[in-house]
Structure 1
Amino acid sequence: MSDSIAVTLGAGSGIDTKALVSSLIDAQFAAKTKALTARKETLTAQISALSQLKSGLTGFSSALSNLVSGGSLSTQPVSSDTSVLNVGLLPGASISGLSANVEVRQLAAAQVVNSGTVADKTAAFGKGTLTITLGEMSYTGDTPTGFTPKSGATPVTVTIGDGQNSLQGIADAINLAKAGVTASVLTDATGSRLVVKGATGAEQAFTIDVAEDASAPGLSALAFNTSTQVMGLTRKSVDALIALDGVEVRRPGNSVSDLLTGVKLDLVKAVPGQTITIGTSAPTSALSQAVADIVETYNQLITIAKTETSSTDGVLRNDSGARELMRQLGALTNRDLNPSAADGEPSTLGELGVRTNRDGTLTLNTAALQSALSKNGPSVEKILTVGLGSALRQISIALTAPTGPLTASQSGYTRLQSALAREAEKIELDTATLRERLTRQFAGMDARVSAYKATQSFLDQQIKSWTRSA
């Protein structure tokens, strides 16, 4: 439609044909547009409600998983003296009835050697090669007298050339070589010195053999082996010595995870002769609070689901995915969450005092829960840390999987969104087509009316002329 047609509409007839065209189009499409808008609003509400349910379900499962992984719901190992020995529960581990005595006789240590001081750590120091070999060192006093290379370890040769031939450059080259040691430059009022440190453990000692470049001597000041100790020994490499229930064992580090099943030992200091008792502490308060939180979270989710699936005004009242979510959640309290439970041990949330109300929400009988905790604490712990978490994950996966009910509902709404978008585009196209056609029709009519008016005016003038002549 051209602008000139739109502007001149009604000029001949005197009728506001532009408004008339708009009124006719509204009469033709208003009902369809209104119905389409209502369907869009309903669909938007359905998508929002379904997303809220999916988010609530996955959030419920994730929150419990995070709580479990944090360890606060699991029986924890405890140390009688944390200034000597700390203990912790390994991820995913479960312990009960733990009782052990540990004596920390020696901490594991790393070998450390240092060079003499130089005034400028960036000044030229020497060129050549440093060969670093890992292994076990034997000593007479503080003097290395024997060295056995570590099985499977290959000596690493570090070339010191132009650009690396300063104390700082040598430290950088050693670190870049990844030879199993770390190097740094320590600077104080007396000057700068190279410090080389290995890993903890007796087999992590090291030797440094030097081959100097005769044209740029100086590297020999960094030699350290059984025959030449130009660098000074600051600390020997030794294993940790631990006596577990009187039996001494060695470990290369001060964090030990393979002595007590499910327990990590962190050695703080060596106190030969002092026995540290390791026992357990049941998380009774945390378990009790967790059950209360689970009931509250469940009720929040089920209330949302009930509102959105209400038979009177729920936007998801005909949604099969939402109904399946409610069905599976409703069966949760009686689901077996501890299949290996012995006779008399609880295996369901119902046996922990969690009751289902007539409206689908839950209530907690705290007396029943406290009784279960006092009589069967480990079973309650297992229900919450293993059984319930697994059940929620299974429900979440089953409902939100690619072929799950909630995913199917979401896919259906997405398809409906596309269909409504196409319908809206068609209405818009039909509206434009009708407006164009009516505008042209009224433009033609207006032109004819204008011509009729011109003829009428001419005839009026002629008749008046004839009348005056007569």
Structure 2
Amino acid sequence: MATDWLNALGASGSGLNIRELAKSLVTADTAVKRTTAEKKIEATEVSISALGKVRAQFQSLSEAIGTVTQSSVLKATSSSSALSISVTDRTLVSEQVTEIEVLQVAQRQVLEFGGFPAADAALGAGRITIDFGVWYAPEGSQEATSFAQNPALASSSIDVGDGATLQDLATALSDIPGVVARVLDKGDGTFSLGVVSEPGAGSALRFTVAEGTAGNGLARFDTTATNLDAQVQAATDALLTVDGITVARGSNEITDLVPGATLTVSGKTSGPAVVSVSRDSALAEAAMAYLVEELNATLKIMRDVTVRSVDGTAAGDLVGDSTVEALKRQFSSLLSGPLTGHGEKPVYLSQLGVSTNRDGSLSFDEEAFQKAFAARPEIFDAMFTNSFSSPTEGVTVTGALTSKAASGDYAFRRDPGTGAVTVAGAATFGLPGTDGTSKYIVLSGDMAGLIVTARDDVADATIRFGRSFASQLQSLLDGATEAEGSIAKREDQIGKLAAEQAEVIEALDLRATKLESRYLAQFTAMEQAVSRMKSTGTYLENLVKSWNKDG
């Protein structure tokens, strides 16, 4: 059994518990510093947690922005059930009323090749070439027996091998884009191959057959001269009148008659249908109320984490934090500042019924909003839609700009000598048109992605861009929450502070170990000296007693 020499010495020495004494001295030397470091680490953990709450609320607000910007407040309606309309791009659609009559629905060509005894009936070998195009009646004829190939659709070929069946051919045809084929049981003891094209007159099919062996029967699928014999339904375009002007389209889903909207044709109309696009005040109010609610939740989080202690109340976990305070100022500036580029005059949130309370929260006055919306519904667009415009006649503007593009007016300049065009001082790439206009695309700089269409005689023009409130708010949120954003940078700073304090604690632990060893060594030497002194004293005491006894 090991001997505890320190306790043994203590018994014959000073009598002190030198282990506890050494620990007490070490604690007195390091405890205050250690406690300070631990409190700093605890504070960093609290700060990181609070920043996480801010980040989470920013992400929630970002999702809310996405919801309201994708939900159009433009209501599209049609007076006919045979013609429907839906908004697909709120940046392109505008309020309008159009009269549209459907004279003819776009149809698919349907071919039937019948008289087969079974779905697995064997076919002769050879090659079938499938062309896409339009069947039309040649001059002097009433029947569509001539074919014009559609240059936009490539031809395809099928090699029919020995032993191939009717079902094999149906499968091979269905593998061709724009063709659907299937074998149908007629119910009379025979089977037919049905072949269907895409809708539109220009999507009709022509089959040209080259038999592997003359007379093997594969030629029954050739329609070069017998299209009408196999045709059950002809391919046709949709025919419509738009405000009295007749137009044709190869699909019943029409995207280019009402900008930013899709028309769906399901049948003929009994006359002109009234198709309208208008802003819905109820939808607009709901969008504003939802955004204000999410903004208030975000503002509250930032207020709560930065509140100062007053009359003994607890301070926020991020009181005095420079990053969150800067974000609060950015929010305040955006909420109270002007939205420019959406017309001659700036737009303010206060015009839409939004006001700031004394505590920094927002209020939304529905009645004030409805009055403003009824008087000037277009100002609502400044909330959720970037705007492109030009007050110069003969100039239109579109584009998809980056977050670097700022709202404002920009100069369009055409060099009278070279004809080169600059926009906002940046060079453009020109695309000449055939109608006396050209498109100019900005490829570099903050306005990269801007597209200006101008008459060729326009030398100078004003280009106006307005970034929406939602877009500016999203940029603010992105700058805070992205990987290299302000919140991430602040978290890194706090993390480094925590790491520094952890190093302080580690150094204190090392110092404590060394101090305790040194104190124990010193106290051990002291105990040994005391023990020796006690031993000498005992010897002298016994010697004196012996002398007295002898005397």
- TM class by shorter-chain length? 0.7 to 0.9
What displacement does 1:65 show? 2.7
| Structure 2, unpaired ranges of 5+ | 12-16, 310-314, 387-467, 540-551
Mapping of 1:344-423 within 5 angstroms? 347-386=347-386, 387-400=468-481, 404-423=485-504
SS of equivalent to 1:38: helix
Question: Which residue of 1 is the match for residue 213 of structure 2?
Answer: 214
**2:61 matched to 1:63?**
no
- Three-state SS of the structure 1 residue aligned to 2:487 is helix
Q: Secondary structure at the match of 1:40?
A: helix
**Percent identical residues:** 25
Residue in 1 aligned with 2:43?
42
Structure 1 residue ranges without an equivalent (≥5): 460-470
**Residue 99 of structure 2: which of 98, 101, 105 is its match?**
101
| 1:137 matches 2:146 | no
Q: Which position in structure 2 is the counterpart of 1:327?
A: 329
TM-score by length of 1: 0.79
Q: Deviations over 1:331-376 (max 9, x none)?
A: 2332222533456xx7111122222122211122333222212211
Matching residue's letter, 1:161: G
- The residue type equivalent to 1:337 in the other structure is L
**Residue equivalent to 2:459:** none
User: Compared with structure 1, are the counterparts of its residues 12 and 87 closer, same or farther at alpha carbon in structure 2 (3 Å cutoff)?
Assistant: same
Post-superposition CA distance 1:88-117 (Å, at most 9, x none): 123133544412111000111111223326
CA RMSD of aligned residues (A): 4.0
Counterpart of 1:59 in structure 2: which amino acid?
S
Q: Where does residue 257 of structure 1 map in the other structure? A: 255
* Contact 1:43–1:417 under 8 Å retained in 2: yes
In the TM superposition, what is the alpha-carbon distance from 1:326 to its structure 2 partner?
0.7
Q: 1:268 to 1:229 in 2, by over 3 A?
A: closer
How far 1:400 sits from its partner (Å)?
4.3
CA distance in 2, matches of 1:418, 1:216: 88
Larger mean CA deviation between 362-371 and 119-128 belongs to 119-128
- Checking the alignment, whether the CA contact within 8 Å between 1:302 and 1:361 is kept in structure 2 is yes
| 2:338 equivalent in structure 1 | 336
Structure-2 residue corresponding to 1:465: none
Secondary structure of 2:109's match?
A: strand
Shift of 1:281: 3.4
- Indicate the SS of the match to 2:363: strand
Match of 2:109 among 107, 111, 117: 111
Distance 1:157 1:432 in 2: 87
- For normalisation by structure 2, the TM-score amounts to 0.69
Whole-angstrom distance in 1 between the partners of 2:193 and 2:158: 15
- Measured in 1, the distance between the counterparts of 2:42 and 2:70 equals 41
**Whose helix fraction is larger, Structure 1's or Structure 2's?**
1
- Which residue number corresponds to residue 198 of structure 1? 197
Is structure 2 residue 369 aligned with structure 1 residue 288? Answer: no
Q: Contact (CA 8 Å) 1:309, 1:319: kept in 2 or not?
A: yes
Equivalent residue runs for 1:259-278 within 5 Å? 259-271=257-269, 273-278=270-275
Range with greater deviation from structure 2 (408-417 or 125-134) = 408-417
CA drift at 1:315: 2.2
Question: Are the aligned partners of 1:337 and 1:391 in contact in 2 as well (CA < 8 Å)?
Answer: no
Residue identity opposite 1:383 in structure 2: M
Structure 1 residues 77 and 430, CA, compared in 2 at 3 Å: closer, same or farther?
Answer: same
Write the distance in 2 (CA, Å) between the matches of 1:64 and 1:263: 22
Moved more, 112-121 or 355-364: 112-121
Higher strand share: 2
Q: Greater CA deviation, 352-361 or 28-37?
A: 28-37
**Structure 1 residue 237: deviation in Å?**
0.9
Mapped partners of 2:208, 2:469: distance in 1 = 60
CA pair 95-203 structure 1, distance change in 2 beyond 3 A: closer
CA distance in 1, matches of 2:98, 2:504: 74
Once structures 1 and 2 are overlaid, which stretch shifts more, 115-124 or 90-99? 115-124
The residue number in structure 1 matching 2:312 is none
CA contact (8 A) 1:400 1:407 kept: yes
Q: Deviations over 1:412-445 (max 9, x none)?
A: 123334434544555566667778x579969x99
Structure 2 counterpart SS, 1:331 = helix
Report the more deviating stretch, 369-378 or 419-428.
419-428
C-alpha separation between the residues in 2 aligned to 1:69 and 1:434? 67
Measured against aligned partners, the alpha-carbon deviations of 1:172-195 in whole angstroms (never above 9, x if no partner) come to 33344x353233344565565433
Letter in 2 for 1:34: T
1:152 and 1:403, CA in 2 relative to 1: closer, same or farther beyond 3 A?
Answer: closer
* Higher relative contact order structure (alpha carbons within 8 Å, sequence separation ≥ 6): 1
CA–CA separation in structure 1 for the residues paired with 2:144 and 2:19? 106
Letter in 1 for 2:489: A
Quick one: distance in 2 between partners of 1:191 and 1:148? 33
**3-state SS, counterpart of residue 257 of structure 2:** strand
Q: Are the counterparts in 2 of residues 338 and 348 from structure 1 also a CA contact under 8 Å?
A: no
Question: SS at 1:116's partner residue?
Answer: strand
